[in-house]
Amino acid sequence: MDNPMLLKSTTRHIRIFAAEIDRDGELVPSNQVLTLDIDPDNEFNWNEDTLQKVYRQFDELVEASSGQDLTDYNLRRIGSDLEHYLRSLLQKGEISYNLSARVTNYSMGLPQVATQENQ
C-alpha cells in the first residue's frame, strides 16, 4: 500500500496510531509501526517503572495479535485492554490521580483515601 490510511484507537487515557512521528512531530501513516501515547491529558502521576510496565503490556498485546490484519477493530481492542490495565494499576496504587491536572474527573473511579485504621 503506497499511501496508507491513518488508523487509530483513542480511549480516555490511551491513544494508538498506526503511524510514525516525523522530525516535525507530525504523524505519518504506516502499516509497520504503532505509536503509543499514554495519558495525553496527564490525569495520573507516573514513575518510569510504571510507564515501562504499560509499554511492556502494549508490546505483549501487539505480539499476541501479530499475524492479524491491522484494522481499527484490532487497535481498539488493544487500546481497551490497555485502558483496563491502567485501571488495575490505579487500583493497586501504582499510579495515582494528578490533582494538578487541567481536569479532574476520576474517570477510573474515586480515589482511595487512607484512614487512620487503614494505616
Instruction: Name residue 36's amino acid.
Output: L
Quote the mean pLDDT of the chain: 87
Using an 8 Å Cβ cutoff, are 31 and 17 in contact?
A: no
Q: How confident is the model at residue 107 (pLDDT cuts 50, 70, 90)?
A: confident
pLDDT at 29: 92
Using an 8 Å Cβ cutoff, are 15 and 80 in contact?
A: no
Mean pLDDT value of segment 80-98: 93
> Is the pTM above the cut of 0.85?
no
Instruction: State the Cα–Cα distance between residues 81 and 86, nearest whole angstrom.
Output: 9
Using an 8 Å Cβ cutoff, are 65 and 34 in contact?
A: no
In angstroms, the Cα distances linking 74 to 23, 65, 78, 83 are 28, 8, 6, 14
Mean pLDDT value of segment 90-105: 86
